[in-house]
């Protein structure tokens, strides 16, 4: 993720819109184009998500491979 976002949303490196790519911090899971929808379409995020991202300095921590496997298996 790159620098602190203007709107409090962690940002990736500019995925294509409609991307099926997912990002995670091990707790939350979101589509890679979420920042676009917040910035351009004023999508409101859950306050818990914003608070969690802020607590982590807007940068997702490394996620253990086992956790990624669990997320993929259970959504």
- Phi, psi (deg, nearest 5) at residue 21: -65, 140
Here the tokens at position 62 are 């490394």
Domain ranges of the chain: 22-74
Higher-confidence residue: 5 or 71?
Answer: 71
pLDDT (0 to 100) of residue 49: 96
Mean pLDDT of 54-61: 93
Q: pTM above 0.75?
A: no
Q: Which residues contact 70 (CB under 8 A, 6 or more apart)?
A: none
DSSP state of 58: T
pLDDT digits (tens, 9 = 90+) for 5-49: 555 555 555 555 666 788 999 999 999 999 999 999 999 999 999
């Amino acid at each position: 993720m790159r620098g602190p976002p203007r709107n409090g949303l962690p940002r990736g490196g500019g995925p294509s819109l409609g991307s099926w790519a997912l990002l995670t911090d091990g707790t939350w899971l979101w589509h890679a184009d979420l920042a676009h929808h917040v910035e351009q379409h004023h999508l409101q995020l859950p306050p818990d998500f914003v608070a969690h991202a802020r607590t982590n300095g807007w940068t997702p921590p490394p996620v253990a491979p086992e956790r990624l496997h669990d997320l993929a298996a259970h959504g």
